[in-house]
Amino acid sequence: MADYTANMKLPARVSICEVVTRDGLQNEKEVMATERKNLLIQAVVAAGVKIVEAGSFVNPKAVPQMADTEQVFANIASNSTQKDVEYRALILNKRGIERAYECGVKKAKLTLSASQSHQKANANQSHDEIFANFAAIAEFAKLNGVTLSGAISTAFGCPFEGAVPVEAIIDITKRYDEIGVGELSLSDTTGMADPALVYRNVSIMKERFPGIVWNLHFHNTRGMGLANVLAGMQAGVSRFDASLGGLGGCPFAPGASGNIATEDLVHMLDLMGIETGIDLGKLLEAAKMLQGFVGRELASAVLKAGRNSDLHERVLKLD
């Protein structure tokens, strides 16, 4: 029989960046102990995760959850078994890249919002002001051997402005490109993307900027996270962020689901025959540990329902 799925235009392999100790924890009220973050990072790496966004070097008063990022990276550095993993940190300003460099961070991620009003609410800076700072950061990074990536948040919609025109994303991408940042993430910060919008915008961006390496970052706020991943893959993207347990909030939708859950994403990709290099069983163990740490049921579907393969085994036993 013909391979009908060949028409789906799927990648053979997907690379996943685990963001649980950064985006996942950022909106948690109770600050997680550094040692627990360390255990989570070790557990996801043991499961096969090769890219970890471990923390952010931002104002500790503004984001108390990230106040221990120096210590998180010190723990990573002292763990010699994790050398082939890329550990990245989020930064927003010059002080951030200096702190990251002092910790030996090799990859730092800049971020800004596609929507000016979201940007003003978050950081009270215009895009011009931000890119003036980013240019200085890029110079520092180049001199000191730190690679930069960039994120564009609210890329698929803004809680204040609604629709975000693709022209705004094109403009920001040009500016990132000008300062030499060649790996970019389109982030659906508040879960406003739908699969058609993702397919359209990603196709436009890939056509306009063929030299950029694209990542996608989806939140499952309105239940469309994995559908958006499928649309992204069909538009030719094979790099996605996800958070263990689906942790990660959205300040504009209290109580809503967070990031897409890493285990839900791996489970889906496993079923589709798309390689991730991640052991789902070990990942689920890590998610259970996280659930114990935060002390409440997490939004992850596979954590609740188990794997398809678990069910098949159960059915066989019943027979």
Q: Measure the CA dihedral 100/89/161/178, to 10°.
A: 70
Q: Is residue 23 near Zn ion by the rule CB under 5 A? A: yes
- What's the longest Cα–Cα distance across the chain? 67
Distance, CA of 277 to CA of 16 (rounded, Å): 9
Judged by CB under 5 A, the stretch of 23-31, 39-47, 82-90, 292-300 that binds Zn ion is 23-31
Is the separation of the CB atoms in 96 and 57 below 8 Å?
yes
The identity of residue 204, as a single letter, is I
Q: How far is the CB of 24 from Zn ion (least distance, A)?
A: 9
Nearer to Zn ion, 18 or 23 (CB): 23
Residue 125 vs 153, nearer CB to Zn ion: 153
Stretch that binds Zn ion, among 18-26, 29-37, 64-72, 226-234 (CB under 5 A): 18-26
Q: State which residue, 23 or 264, has the beta carbon closest to Zn ion.
A: 23
Neighbours of 274 (CB within 10 A): 16
Catalytic choice (17, 103, 158, 250): 250
* Burial readout 59-83 (b: 16 or more C-beta within 10 A, e: otherwise): eeeebebbbbbbebbebbeeeeebe
Q: Which is nearer to Zn ion, 27 or 79 (CB)?
A: 27
Q: Residue 23 CB, nearest distance to Zn ion (Å)?
A: 4
Half-sphere exposure in the Cβ direction for 50 (13 Å, CA): 9
CA distance 113 to 45: 30
Candidate segments 16-24, 45-53, 62-70, 281-289, binder of Zn ion by CB under 5 A: 16-24
Residue (53 or 68) nearer to Zn ion, CB: 53
Specify the amino acid at residue 282: K
Span from 19-27, 42-50, 80-88, 126-134 in contact with Zn ion (CB under 5 A)? 19-27
Nearest approach, Cβ of residue 247 and Zn ion (Å)? 11
Q: How many residues bind Zn ion (CB under 5 A)?
A: 1
Amino acid found at 174: K
Q: Which is nearer to Zn ion, 75 or 153 (CB)?
A: 153
Report in angstroms how near the CB of residue 170 gets to Zn ion at its nearest: 21
Q: In the annotation, is 17 catalytic?
A: no
Q: What's the closest the beta carbon of residue 122 comes to Zn ion, in angstroms?
A: 12
Chain position whose Cβ is nearest to Zn ion: 23
What residue has token string 């003036």? 132
Assess 18 for contact with Zn ion (CB under 5 A): no
Count CB neighbours of 143 within 10 A.
9
Stretch that binds Zn ion, among 15-23, 85-93, 224-232, 263-271 (CB under 5 A): 15-23
- Beta carbon of residue 219, minimum distance to Zn ion (angstroms, whole number): 6
Which helix (H) or strand (E) segment holds residue 107: the answer is: strand 107-113
Assess 263 for contact with Zn ion (CB under 5 A). Answer: no
Is 174 buried (19+), middle (13-18) or exposed (0-12) by CB count in 10 A?
exposed
**Which positions touch Zn ion (CB under 5 A)?**
23
The catalytic residues are 250
